[in-house]
Amino acid sequence: MSTGEFVELNKENEHILVCLSSSPSNEKIIRTAAKMARDMRARFTALYVQTGKRERESDKRRLEAHVQFAKESGAEIVMTHGENVPVQIAEYAHLSNVTKIVIGQSSAKRNHFFSKQTLTEKLIEAVPDIDIHIIPDAMNLDNYRKPHGAVYVGKPTMKDSLLTLFIFAVCTLIGLFIQKLQFTDTNIVTIYILGVLLTSILTDGYLYSIGGSVLSVFLFCFFLTEPRMSFRTYAVGYPVTFVIMLISSVITGTLAAKLKTHARLSAQSAFRTQILFDTDRLLQKAKNDTDILSITCTQLIKLLDRSIVAYVVEDDELSAPYIFSNKKKEQTEDLLTSREQEIAKWVYENKQRAGATTERFKDAQCLYLAICIEDNVYGVIAIPVDEYTLDSFEYSILLSVINECALAMENKKNIMEKEKISVLAKNEQLRADLLRAISHDLRTPLCSISGNADMLLNSGERLDDITKHQIYTDIYDDSEWLINIVENLLSITRLNDGRLKLKFTDQLLDEVIAESLRHISRKHEEYQIVTECDELILARMDVRLILQVLINLVDNAIKYTPKGSTIRICAMNENGKAKIQVEDNGPGICDEMKPHIFEMFYTGKNTIADSHRSLGLGLALCRSIIEVHNGKLVLEDNTPHGCIFSFTLPLSEVTLNE
């Protein structure tokens, strides 16, 4: 391997990871990482670690803009969660074979020896075997200063405030009761710590956990220490008890709130993963585009908890909207207006997203996304956008589900096209087989007719009467054979094309059998043909087609049995149906030929008594004719040798008029 090839191979194995954040400088970091990925033709991933801390709305919007920018730059968006951001980045980097990490220089500075390490320093220690590219931050971040480890606390709500007061009021009452039972104050402290835990679990955020910790100390001091109803205490150890109680409560409440947050993030991540897994599994079982669309919209309802409007492409046009409701009382009329449908049509024609939360048609009620792969658009999905907008990671899951839908529709389309190509190829093969059989097998009788006619024209006066009679007979037999072949070709073509008009009438079977024998080949005189028919069997049939079936079956027996053989035609009433059998005592049909005997153009290895070869159409035509009569043509062995072809016809109802 040359040096140039080695360098190219190393480039293909590169994996660049950029870390996402809400910092204003993050866009510069993403741009630098994207340029590195393009230059090295490397895999490009953007990772965001959720810590569970609340952020300002401005930070959320900035983070979503950075996620969108990374996606437009060709990055694969990945989200994970954990309290320790450097550890989460390091774990993902090792599991995903990341070769280079691009991160911005941390704005936090170490002011003294005992200061905590910055994020950049921790990451360097966590992944010493991976190249880390630190992008210097030359931007003015005076407006973006957030103390290291600070937590943004949301606004308090009346519900959580009343719940916190109720919990600690109950704890105080329990404490008074325990004190009357003369238990130690240690038990009362544990009651208040339990109240802090309950507050952390039942309320949202850290505010109530910390507030409850402080409130528990004040309540304990005011109601449960001497002198009561006062913040004074004469006991020497109580101040220390209050301090330890406050510290324990704050730590306990903070840890409980963190655990609850990470449990929520884990459940959310597991739910989204399950949605993607179920979507892929269900789409594999879908039979058509309607099923695929229904499954996709049902999964999106589970993911987003809102109604979904879908449009599907039919005959190169967008269909009327389909609404999939989430069973809540929502106003869906605004989602189906002509204005909204025009936006959906624009998305279909331009293959771009539009509607709410986008720059185009931002006044729309829905966000419109195309179900497409490359230039093939299969439909449009509309997501209603209310006061709760989609965050970047919900949007990424949404796109993943829609991409799964587009891929499933693409696969169904490819399968249908393959089936059409297979049918066309089969038809072409049938045409080729037909032309080859006709050109090969019709040549013999045509040459015989042409040669005999030429002999009569040029040497007729020198031929005796016996020779002339033989020539006339050969011309007649060859022409009859050709007529029979042409009739079979025309009939089977009309049956396959559905152009054959059936004329059902009530006929006596003995008369139909007698009529068929009048059209049998002249060679039947060399065979013994016996008919056995029950009296007055009236069957409903297209007599013209059934005659052709009987003629083909008898001619087939004549072709493949030696002269002098016995051919028996039987008609009987069996199980409420008319049954006809054509039997012979010839050599029979071997087992390896039986599965193919009714296939078109199959002639087998049996030799024919005369010089003509069969085109393999007679039995195939007979089977098709019997099937349109709701019957079945069956082949059985005759004892001791030979074969039996049998089929059934519906009996006619006889009406007697007095």
Tell me: the pLDDT tens digits for 262-298? Answer: 777 677 777 777 887 888 888 888 888 888 888 888 8
Q: What confidence category does residue 644 fall into, taking pLDDT thresholds of 50, 70 and 90? A: very high
Q: Which amino acid is at 195?
A: G
Q: Within this chain, do residues 124 and 13 fall inside the same structural domain, yes or no?
A: yes
Query: Are the C-beta atoms of 411 and 327 separated by less than 8 Å?
Result: no
pLDDT of residue 645: 93
Q: Is the pLDDT of residue 5 over 60?
A: no
Check residue 12 and give its pLDDT: 57
Q: Which of 604, 603, 608, 618 lies closest to 586, judged by CA?
A: 608
Q: Quickly list DSSP for 38-97.
A: HHHT-EEEEEEEE-S----HHHHHHHHHHHHHHHHTTPEEEEEE-S-HHHHHHHHHHHTT
Residue 571: the pLDDT is 92
Domain containing residue 36: CATH number: 3.40.50.620
What pLDDT shows up at residue 646? 93
CA-based nearest residue to 216, from 267, 180, 252: 252
Do 573 and 515 lie in one domain? The reply is yes
Banded pLDDT at 234 (limits 50, 70, 90): low
- One domain for residues 100 and 189: no
Nearest CA-CA partner of 348 in 322, 325, 323, 314 = 314
Among residues 264, 296, 315, which one ends one of the domains? 264
- Report, as an integer, the average pLDDT of 237-264: 71
Least confident range of 8-12, 248-252, 426-430, 631-635: 8-12
440-462 pLDDT, tens digit each: 567 777 888 888 888 888 887 88
Q: 322-324 and 308-314 as β-strands: parallel, antiparallel, unpaired?
A: antiparallel
Q: Are residues 112 and 227 in the same domain?
A: no
Single out the residue in 381, 416, 451 at which a domain terminates. Answer: 416
What number is the average pLDDT over the span 626-644? 88
Q: Which residues, listed in sequence order, are joined to residue 529 by a DSSP beta bridge?
A: 567
pLDDT at 110: 53
Same domain, 84 and 174: no
Give the domain range for residue 248: 158-264
424 domain-assigned:
no
**200: DSSP letter:** H
CATH number at residue 337: 3.30.450.40
Give CA–CA dist 585/607, Å, rounded. Answer: 16
- Report pLDDT for 617: 67
pLDDT at residue 523 in the model: 58
Alpha helices (runs of H) in 442-542, residue ranges in sequence order: 443-459, 465-497, 509-517
Instruction: Indicate the residue among 103, 135, 167 that finishes a domain.
Output: 135
In a domain, 483, yes or no: no
| Residue partners of 494: CB distance under 8 A and separation at least 6 | 500
514 and 622: one domain? Answer: yes
Nearest to 76 by CA among 43, 100, 39: 43
Within a domain: 526: yes
Each residue of 316-344: pLDDT tens digit? Answer: 888 888 888 876 655 677 788 888 888 98
pLDDT of residue 606: 52
Average pLDDT over residues 546-551: 86
Residue with the larger pLDDT of the pair 130 and 8: 130
Residue 352, amino acid: Q
**428 belongs to a structural domain:** no
- Shared domain for 516 and 618, answered yes or no, is yes
Are residues 183 and 62 located together in one domain of the fold? no
Residue 640, preceding peptide bond in cis (omega within 30° of 0): yes
In total, how many domains does the chain have?
4
What is the distance between the alpha carbons of residues 105 and 110, in angstroms, rounded to a whole number? 13
Report which of 392, 356, 370, 394 is spatially closest to residue 70, judged by C-alpha positions.
392
Residue 55 has a pLDDT of: 67
What CA–CA distances, in Å, run from 178 to 36, 173, 337, 362, 546? Answer: 68, 9, 66, 62, 103
Contact 512, 550 (CB under 8 A): yes
Query: Which residue would you say has higher pLDDT here, 303 or 656?
Result: 303
Longest Cα–Cα distance of the chain, Å, equals 155
> Does residue 462 lie in a domain region?
no
Q: Are residues 80 and 186 in the same domain?
A: no
Q: In the chain, pLDDT over 90 holds for what percent of residues?
A: 7
Scan for tokens 């179920």, then name that residue. Answer: 278
Task: Answer yes or no: is 423 within a domain.
Answer: no
139 dihedral zone (left: phi>0; alpha: psi -120 to 50; beta): beta
Q: Which residues of 310-326 are buried (b: 16+ CB within 10 A; e: fewer)?
A: bbbbeeeebeebbebee
Q: Cβ contacts of residue 457 below 8 Å, gap of 6+?
A: none
What tokens does 594 get?
């039986």
Cβ-count burial of 364 within 10 angstroms (0-12 exposed, 13-18 middle, 19+ buried)? buried
In a domain, 391, yes or no: yes
pLDDT of amino acid 454 = 86
Separation between Cα atoms, residue 90 and residue 17, nearest integer Å:
11
**510-526 average pLDDT score:** 79
The tokens describing 89, both together, are: 């980045």
228 and 299 together in one domain = no
Query: Do 551 and 645 belong together in one domain?
Result: yes
If you average pLDDT over each of 32-36, 158-162, 322-326, 497-501, which comes out highest? Answer: 32-36
588 vs 331 pLDDT, higher one: 588
Confidence band, pLDDT 50/70/90 cuts, at residue 140: very low
Q: Which residue has the tokens 């009530």?
A: 506
- Tell me whether residue 165 is in a domain: yes
Mean pLDDT score across all residues of the chain: 79
Are residue 508 and residue 645 in the same domain, yes or no?
yes
What's the pLDDT score for residue 579?
92
Q: Kindly tell me if the per-residue pLDDT of 594 is higher than 80.
A: yes
- Tell me the per-residue pLDDT of 105-121, one tens digit each, with 9 for 90 and over: 765 555 544 456 777 88
| Structure confidence by residue, pLDDT tens digits, 356-399 | 878 888 888 888 999 888 788 888 988 888 766 676 677 778 88
